[in-house]
Structure 1
Amino acid sequence: MDIKKSKWKIAVAISIAVVILIGVFIFTQIGPYNSKNKKDIIVEIPKGASVNAISDVLYENELIKNKQLFKIVVKLSNKAQQFKAGKYLLNQTYSNQDIVGLLASGKIYHDGIKVTIPEGSTSKEIVSILTKNKLGKKEVYEGLIKNPKELYEKFEFLKEEKITSLEGFLYPETYYFDEDSTENEVISKMLSTFNGMYTEKLVQRQKELKMTLSDVVNLASIVEKEAVLDEDRPIIASVFYNRIKIGMPLQSDATIQYTFEERKKIVTYKDLEIDSPYNSYKNKGLPPTPIASPGIKSIEGVLYPADTDYIYFVAKLDGGNNYSVTYEEHLKNVKEYKEQRDKLNQNKTKQ
């Protein structure tokens, strides 16, 4: 009996030792590759990469020791669906769990030249931003913007008959470009971003409204320039739709501003007499092209306008608008706005 007990104890001890050794092995395999090496390593996770492909990239860059165990860590984390493509800044002190967390967080590493295109930027303003950041030449950009045909092969949506310029389609966003990026590559990245934002759902909605893409972006560009608050965008869109419906010109100061080399502080009554196809006081319907690059909120506002009878709107001091159905109501709102604005200016002067 004593011999049997002794053998049993030895077997238990060996089993425990094996379990401990396996645990230590696993712990070291899924832990940092080298806890003392903090040298940065940039890895790129391709779009649509599988966990297998990702583990290959990490293993080749000596960031994980065991691909199979890494896959198990991913599976247990239940975060594989959250992984985002792009470049990541890692080092060998990261454990498997740290790497999984970073890939799921989407904290992508950006190198190159950072360029921010604000919503409502005109193509001229965009070209100015790009050239100031030493990204290409003005005349090359202008040539591409005036000739969408040069990009037909890459972007099918540009083949629409009404699209005669890239104005409005250079999506406003923060971009990172390589220093040696060509003008074509820069423009293509912006168009690709637009194409990604303009989802199939929006395409179907456009078809329901029996509109062209050009018309959607055109009207959205005007809404973008007229609106300050997101909640106003669908309402402003409804105002323009209502004006079109009754055969009234859009009467947007924003389209007048587009004709000037530099934006004016105030559009005067004399400006409303300008002989231009972009003068929406003299010409009915949409201008020949969009007047700026609208953000997604303005595009959605045009595709999903509010249901209103409003024909007029005037700004409020808080950035919103007062809306009205009749011209008489509109005049009251204009008067109220001017009184509030004058009072505010007087208070500022006193201070």
Structure 2
Amino acid sequence: MLRFMIQTLKVSAVLVLAVAIVFTSQRALSHYLGQADELRDSEPVTFSVQNEETAESVGERLEEQGIIRSSWYFEMRMRLGSSDAQLNPGQYELSPGMAVSEIIDEITTTGTAGTATIRFQEGWRTEQYAEHLAETGLLESADEFLDAVASPQWDFDFLASRPADAQLEGYLFPDTYEFRGDVTAEEIVEILLETFESRVPPELQERADDLGYNFHNVITIASIIEREAVISEERPVMASVFFNRMEENMPLQADPTVQYVVGQPGNWWPEITQEDINRMAPHNTYQRPGIPPWPIANPSLASIQAALEPDETDYLFFVATGDGSGAHRFAETYEEHQQNIELARQGQ
């Protein structure tokens, strides 16, 4: 009897120890899988949650991008979490330095539409805005945004000088926005236009009159500057070149206007060829005199200010230095311009 009791106690002790080991191991594994990975690079990674995505697909992509250790653990935590927690479509900055619980809090919302942070880059054309909204999952398709942009409903004072057939290109202010997860394409367009209205107030718009051009023309010049300039200080100098050329009845001959003509999905700003330059199109400033019918991109406030307040120069030409700095050489005469081109070819 005593021997039997001793054996029973031994078995019980082993079972208790086994349970303790399993429990401890499970706790340790959960802690390992769920904690922030401080040993890995914590540089933020841009991560997009698409419309109608599942916890499984999001977890797999998080693991593939090295943001979490285990997609299985992520999916398990999602299932064990709040019953009404929903994945919130949008773009997020995540890193391995975040715990799984923090990531879940970031990309889900409980019972509401939540918000999504969207960045529109300066110099993007409208199609790039549309593609970005679809890629981040905020809209179902790029066409949703393009259809909203094409709607005739938009009535803002700063659009008064815009021709009836002109697009909203140039007026969709580039910035970082916080949108509701259930925002519509029309609401996005309205927010972008309202931001333009607040960032480019009437007193700034009125400076176009001092230049002898309407506001729409100046925004079109600003869009060309945005695509040409790399160094911010050169923007007002470039503006002076374009206005000086128009005063001399010279074509603008701006490469970005040709890029606007020939750009295609996947490569909206391609390298251009002589064949492209020879192509007849309303926006091709090599073939058509004056200012294009509407902007070629959505310019930054810096480019808009440069176009409204150009430097006073006699420059008629500029060319990139070709040294990788993004700088340009400016010239008053064609002969000087040719010399600058030769220097650029030599990489000087």
Q: Give the Å deviation of 1:264.
A: 5.3
Matched residue SS, 1:278: coil
Following superposition, which runs of at least 4 residues in structure 1 exceed 4 angstroms of deviation? none
Q: Does 1:298 align with 2:299?
A: no
Q: Does 1:140 align with 2:144?
A: yes
Matched residue SS, 1:258: helix
Cα 1:144–1:213 shift into 2, 3 Å: farther
Q: TM-score, normalised by structure 1?
A: 0.62
Q: Give the Å deviation of 1:205.
A: 1.3
Cα 1:307–1:159 shift into 2, 3 Å: closer
Q: Give the Å deviation of 1:175.
A: 0.6
CA RMSD between the two structures: 1.6
Letter in 2 for 1:323: F
Letter in 1 for 2:149: I
Contact 1:122 1:293 in 2 (8 A): yes
Contact 2:241 2:317 in 1 (8 A): yes
Kindly provide the CA deviation profile for residues 93-139 of structure 1, in whole angstroms up to 9, marking residues without a partner as x: xxxxxxxxxxxxxxxxxx61111111100001111111111222322
The whole-number CA distance in structure 2 between the counterparts of 1:171 and 1:319 is: 24
User: What residue number does 2:294 align with?
Assistant: 289
Q: Give the Å deviation of 1:203.
A: 2.2
Q: TM-score, normalised by structure 2?
A: 0.63
Q: Does 1:200 align with 2:202?
A: yes
Contact 2:120 2:175 in 1 (8 A): yes
Contact 2:170 2:219 in 1 (8 A): yes
Matched residue SS, 2:137: coil
User: What residue number does 1:340 align with?
Assistant: 347
The whole-number CA distance in structure 2 between the counterparts of 1:300 and 1:334 is: 28
Q: Does 1:323 align with 2:323?
A: no
The whole-number CA distance in structure 1 between the counterparts of 2:270 and 2:120 is: 22
The whole-number CA distance in structure 2 between the counterparts of 1:256 and 1:234 is: 22
Cα 1:130–1:214 shift into 2, 3 Å: same
Cα 1:265–1:127 shift into 2, 3 Å: closer
Cα 1:279–1:174 shift into 2, 3 Å: same
Q: How many residues align?
A: 228
User: What residue number does 2:14 align with?
Assistant: none
The whole-number CA distance in structure 2 between the counterparts of 1:134 and 1:202 is: 35
Q: After the TM superposition, which residues 25-36 of structure 1 pair with which residues of structure 2 at under 5 Å, given as runs?
A: none
Contact 1:144 1:150 in 2 (8 A): no
The whole-number CA distance in structure 2 between the counterparts of 1:207 and 1:312 is: 25
The whole-number CA distance in structure 2 between the counterparts of 1:138 and 1:247 is: 39
Q: After the TM superposition, which residues 142-157 of structure 1 pair with which residues of structure 2 at under 5 Å, given as runs?
A: 142-147=146-151, 149-152=152-155, 155-157=156-158
User: What residue number does 2:174 align with?
Assistant: 172
Letter in 1 for 2:118: V
Matched residue SS, 1:270: helix
Letter in 2 for 1:139: D
